[in-house]
Structure 1
Amino acid sequence: MAAIELLAVENSLSRSKQAQYQVLQFWLVVENRGYDKQVEVYWAGRDGVWQTLSAAYQARRGDGREYWLARVSISNRSGLALPGAVNFALRLRYDGGEIWDNNGGWNYHAPARSGVALAAGLAVQNLAIKQRLEAGQHYLQIKVATRPAQAADKVVIHWSDDNWRTSRQTACRRNRRAKQHTAQIWTARLPVEQAFALEYCLCYRSKLGEVWDNNHGKNYRLSREPLRVLILNLHCYQEDRQDVKLSQIAKAIDEQAVDVVCFQEVAEHWNHGHGDWASNSANIINRRLRRPMHIHTDWSHLGFDKYREGVAILSRYPFRQARSRYVSDSQDPYSIHARKVVMAQLDIPYMGVVNVYSAHLSWWEDGFQHQFERLCAWADSQLGGEVKTTLLCGDFNVAAGSAGYRLVVDGRRYEDQYLAANQIGLFEKIFRVNDAHWQHLLADDYRIDYIFMNKSGDLRVTSARVLFTDWDYGRVSDHCGYLMSFEPK
């Protein structure tokens, strides 16, 4: 297969009262040769002047390649002539070289007003390839091109908005107003108002039989943005260049489009036990975000002899309720063994109601078992009704594979979501099979920060990565951060 290929091209003309518009669109498929690659269409109209048009990534193809689209609309409002027929070639530039597709040296040609034309050898092509459903989007418009020689008499979309637990079929309508000989255009509109994701494939029927397009075996899929959750221990004002690092944390939250943040070792000046909101580290980070979040924080004990130390939850979604509770035997603010957890209930669009807990528990020898059991009991008491999913987030002070981790595993109620995203085979042994030797496989895993989700929850983790390392936003604490994405099961 070529590194860059043409799928379809459109050269069409439209009019308004003020001007005429020529639309050029180029549908391409490209090999994934690095994140920083550039995909371009090099084209010239009737004036013979060559121009470069950048393409934009659309979605991943089922065979691992990528769909890209280049589009430009040109107006004659300024008095300039429209380009008319165009000649063009395709170019893929990446670190290490560039690859051209110029149709074997002859370039491609799209006559003026020719509409949509399919590349040689293609019988059908989806022209509405995207990967995201927008917030508030109620309908998805599907557009399909078929080769006239195939004489398709029906195009049907087979689709599901619940991971194929149920499925539906919608017949497309042929656009007979688009008078062209290069392709037949079929359209349909699917309702997606309540859906988090929609998956579909195409089937067109003619006297010659049926032809299916299921995106090379993976189907086409669009989804809303996932729920992104970040956990980070802030190290209680013990960092050099602390103010710079607080800004760096805010930058990462903005750039990674984080929805929910769970902080531990949140500090503010002791101030004779009264605290000082202006110095609260979670509050400072929140104020430095482009769009500050809703915030809920509480403190547990005196930290480093001069701070109120606690935990916090930041959320882009309003709190339906926000609470805090000691889970430790001690509630003495002068004891480091006094541990309080904060909880927020959130209504996540297209996902439902989720209870999030930000916790910083003691080491195993200092009371982890009783604290975790109290936390679970509290979380269990808040389940039911609308609430299906619980996320226990934070610094649990038990290493993967330790006695404390075994307590979580043996309880078989909560599962390690970082492991679920990155070590599927190992996750299955620990949380599904409960293999007797799984501890040995975690010997080099030094994590003590986790997101545990209840096994019966309605969400599933789709990705998990480490942040705030020497290679990713820099060190901001004596802990790394963990960013995980979730979507409905």
Structure 2
Amino acid sequence: MDNIQLLYVGNIVSGKAAASSQILQFFMRVANLGYGKTVEVHWAGEDGVRRTVLADYCITAGDGSEYWRAELRFQCQAKADLPGDIRFSLRLQHEGREYWDNNDGCQGYFCAAGSGGRTTGLVPVLNLSPLQGLSASQRSIPLKLAVDAGLAAEKVTVHWTLDDWHHVHKTSCRLQSGRRSATRSGYAGLHPVQHWSTNLKLDGAFRVQYSICCEGKEQTFWDNNAGQNYRLSRAPLKVMILNLHCYQEDDQDRKFWQIAKAVDELGADLVCLQEVAEHWNDGRGDWASNSANIINRRLKQPFHLYSDWSHLGFDKYREGVAILSRYPFERQEARYVSDSSDAYSIHSRKVVAASIDVPYIGTIDVFSAHLSWWEDGFRDQFQRLSEWADGRRGAEVAATLLCGDFNIAAGSLGYGLVVDGHRYEDQYLAANAPALFQQIFRVDDAHWRDRLADDYRIDYVFMNKDSGLRATSARVVFTEQDYGRVSDHCGYLLEFEPL
């Protein structure tokens, strides 16, 4: 394909002379040359004045090319003040080079005022309302399709699914405008179109896939996005974990600001913090100095916060754990999982848990934990934690997440205890090394420890293997290159979607 190609132009005029309006629409296909592209429409109306409008990225097609769109709206008191007939060309700029679509040297394209839509025939069916994803409040998908009149379509149907094609819905489209015949328009390089539309009812679904079937007397044409189908989904659940290092950082206040900035910019939904500290104050604590509370107050929109403490830390702080959630807590609970509950013992370890109803995903049970080293009681602490978590599981729980600092290196005896339990699985590994994850947690390869020799993580998100979620991505944050160091630990950000 050429690096930039016109697919569709619309020139719609409506209203009377007293209050007229005109809409210009341009859809184009652009080669994925890399980031930093500029896509423009160079056009002129009946006044002959050359103008430029920037196009916006819409979606990436199944074959890797991109769809871009530009739209202009005019509202005038008289039709004479509208652009009227237009002539135009397209330009793509990338890394100092430029590419044009000027109708094969015909000095651009022409589209008459009020002529409706025209297509170049390169894409027989074009979605004029493309979406990159589903918004949190969206309950339906309006589809407006431009179908090349050359197909002589008599029926257009959208085939769609909410559960990966286990159940298939079929919704008929309505013909809005355009003749059912394949008559040519007479404009060089442009063909008439039919406009069809429909609305897909999503209700509470997390994702949708669809393809389009156009049926005519002589042929049936399928648009399935180059074999990939069209796919839209809600935003994933984003979970962040971080050990805060109990007020031991230089330039601590700035680092709290950095953490809050990352939570906002990365769009985290749940944040599990360890070594959360506040002034000891003779054991009474001091909420104003609580590090989780300070970070939360610095978010653009403060989260729901649940925090509790375990023991005296560094001889001057109440040290504990916390959960911050974008969504309200339905149930919250704190327990010691250690043998000791002595506030003056560093081996006293308390975990906080919360049930959270995440829209379009369901109820998530999340635990923020800071367990002891293997030699200091990890085995018993993890056993108590997992039994507690399992005891909270019910049919309404979509997933159980054990998050935080577990003080066991990947491949160690403690990690092996988790593997051998066959209940909880390492989600960072699942997202970044799925083949190795399968070997360790599903196949139980006897030599799996050798593969983790260079993996020094001690912070994890372990998910119950019967959960209805899957980790789709996982990244390290709070490194020198990514928001800067804020602790003696890195943080982790994981994204989850329903199965």
Q: Same fold (TM over 0.5)?
A: yes
Q: Residues 144 and 276 from structure 1, CA distance in 2 versus in 1: closer, same or farther, beyond 3 angstroms?
A: same
Partner of 1:38: 38
Which secondary structure does the structure 1 equivalent of 2:341 belong to?
coil
For residues 204-283 of structure 1, the aligned pairs below 5 Å read 204-283=214-293
Partner of 1:12: 12
Choose which of 365, 386, 399 in structure 1 pairs with 2:396.
386
- Which residue identity does 2:211 align to in structure 1? C
State the distance in 1 between where 2:31 and 2:248 align: 46
Partner of 1:451: 461
How far did 1:34 drift?
A: 3.5
How far did 1:368 drift?
A: 1.2
- Which residue identity does 2:57 align to in structure 1? Y
Matched, 1:128 2:138: no
Residues 59 and 129 in structure 1, CA contact (< 8 A), matched pair in contact too: yes
State the distance in 2 between where 1:238 and 1:276 align: 17
State the distance in 2 between where 1:35 and 1:297 align: 42
TM-score for both structures, normalised by structure 2: 0.93
Once superposed, what is the RMSD of the aligned Cα atoms?
2.0
Matched, 1:468 2:469: no
Worse overlay, 463-472 or 30-39:
30-39
How far does the alpha carbon of each residue in 1:287-319 deviate from its partner, in whole angstroms, 9 at most, with x for none? 011100100001111111111111110111110
Q: Residues 17 and 242 from structure 1, CA distance in 2 versus in 1: closer, same or farther, beyond 3 angstroms?
A: farther
Q: Residues 77 and 418 from structure 1, CA distance in 2 versus in 1: closer, same or farther, beyond 3 angstroms?
A: farther
Residues 178 and 185 in structure 1, CA contact (< 8 A), matched pair in contact too: no
How far did 1:77 drift?
A: 4.5
Worse overlay, 319-328 or 108-117:
108-117
How far did 1:32 drift?
A: 3.2
State the distance in 1 between where 2:405 and 2:93 align: 44
Give the count of matched residue pairs. Answer: 489
State the distance in 1 between where 2:382 and 2:68 align: 48
Choose which of 352, 373, 378 in structure 1 pairs with 2:383.
373
State the distance in 2 between where 1:305 and 1:35 align: 52
How far did 1:261 drift?
A: 0.7
How far does the alpha carbon of each residue in 1:365-387 deviate from its partner, in whole angstroms, 9 at most, with x for none? 21111111111000000001311
How far does the alpha carbon of each residue in 1:125-165 deviate from its partner, in whole angstroms, 9 at most, with x for none? 22222122222222211111111122111111110012222
Q: Residues 101 and 427 from structure 1, CA distance in 2 versus in 1: closer, same or farther, beyond 3 angstroms?
A: farther
For residues 326-475 of structure 1, the aligned pairs below 5 Å read 326-475=336-485
Residues 160 and 168 in structure 1, CA contact (< 8 A), matched pair in contact too: yes
State the distance in 1 between where 2:32 and 2:64 align: 8
Residues 8 and 27 in structure 1, CA contact (< 8 A), matched pair in contact too: yes
- Which residue identity does 1:85 align to in structure 2? D
State the distance in 1 between where 2:473 and 2:18 align: 49
How far does the alpha carbon of each residue in 1:372-423 deviate from its partner, in whole angstroms, 9 at most, with x for none? 1111000000001311310111111111111111211222211211111111
Which secondary structure does the structure 2 equivalent of 1:183 belong to?
strand
How far did 1:2 drift?
A: 2.6
- Which residue identity does 1:37 align to in structure 2? K
State the distance in 1 between where 2:418 and 2:80 align: 70
Worse overlay, 426-435 or 289-298:
426-435
State the distance in 2 between where 1:37 and 1:334 align: 60
State the distance in 2 between where 1:255 and 1:79 align: 46
How far does the alpha carbon of each residue in 1:177-233 deviate from its partner, in whole angstroms, 9 at most, with x for none? 899961001111111121111110011111222111111111111112211111111
State the distance in 2 between where 1:78 and 1:409 align: 74
How far did 1:80 drift?
A: 7.5
- Which residue identity does 1:3 align to in structure 2? N
State the distance in 1 between where 2:201 and 2:95 align: 41
State the distance in 2 between where 1:366 and 1:215 align: 56
Q: Residues 382 and 212 from structure 1, CA distance in 2 versus in 1: closer, same or farther, beyond 3 angstroms?
A: same
How far did 1:78 drift?
A: 9.2
Residues 34 and 95 in structure 1, CA contact (< 8 A), matched pair in contact too: no
Structure 1: segments with no counterpart, 5+ residues: none
Q: Residues 123 and 393 from structure 1, CA distance in 2 versus in 1: closer, same or farther, beyond 3 angstroms?
A: same
- Which residue identity does 2:243 align to in structure 1? N
How far did 1:71 drift?
A: 1.6
Matched, 1:87 2:87: yes
Q: Residues 79 and 399 from structure 1, CA distance in 2 versus in 1: closer, same or farther, beyond 3 angstroms?
A: same
Residues 45 and 84 in structure 1, CA contact (< 8 A), matched pair in contact too: yes
Q: Residues 406 and 4 from structure 1, CA distance in 2 versus in 1: closer, same or farther, beyond 3 angstroms?
A: farther
Residues 46 and 84 in structure 1, CA contact (< 8 A), matched pair in contact too: yes
Matched, 1:153 2:154: yes
How far did 1:460 drift?
A: 1.4
Which secondary structure does the structure 1 equivalent of 2:343 belong to?
coil
Partner of 1:64: 64
Which secondary structure does the structure 1 equivalent of 2:387 belong to?
helix
State the distance in 2 between where 1:35 and 1:395 align: 37
Partner of 2:100: 100
Q: Residues 51 and 468 from structure 1, CA distance in 2 versus in 1: closer, same or farther, beyond 3 angstroms?
A: farther
State the distance in 2 between where 1:262 and 1:16 align: 60
Which secondary structure does the structure 1 equivalent of 2:285 belong to?
coil
Partner of 2:140: 139
Partner of 1:21: 21
- Which residue identity does 1:415 align to in structure 2? E
Residues 149 and 179 in structure 2, CA contact (< 8 A), matched pair in contact too: no
Partner of 2:174: 173
Of all paired residues, the percent bearing the same amino acid is 58
Which secondary structure does the structure 2 equivalent of 1:410 belong to?
helix
State the distance in 2 between where 1:456 and 1:154 align: 43
State the distance in 1 between where 2:265 and 2:118 align: 39
State the distance in 2 between where 1:97 and 1:442 align: 46
Worse overlay, 8-17 or 280-289:
8-17
Residues 361 and 398 in structure 2, CA contact (< 8 A), matched pair in contact too: no
State the distance in 2 between where 1:260 and 1:203 align: 41
Which secondary structure does the structure 1 equivalent of 2:153 belong to?
coil
- Which residue identity does 1:117 align to in structure 2? R
State the distance in 2 between where 1:63 and 1:186 align: 24
Worse overlay, 286-295 or 413-422:
413-422
Which secondary structure does the structure 1 equivalent of 2:375 belong to?
helix
How far does the alpha carbon of each residue in 1:410-438 deviate from its partner, in whole angstroms, 9 at most, with x for none? 22211211111111221221222222222
TM-score for both structures, normalised by structure 1: 0.95
Partner of 1:290: 300
State the distance in 1 between where 2:178 and 2:88 align: 27
State the distance in 2 between where 1:404 and 1:78 align: 77
Which secondary structure does the structure 1 equivalent of 2:220 belong to?
strand
How far did 1:16 drift?
A: 7.6
Following superposition, which runs of at least 4 residues in structure 1 exceed 6 angstroms of deviation? 177-180
Q: Residues 306 and 69 from structure 1, CA distance in 2 versus in 1: closer, same or farther, beyond 3 angstroms?
A: same
- Which residue identity does 2:108 align to in structure 1? N
Partner of 1:109: 110
Q: Residues 175 and 375 from structure 1, CA distance in 2 versus in 1: closer, same or farther, beyond 3 angstroms?
A: same
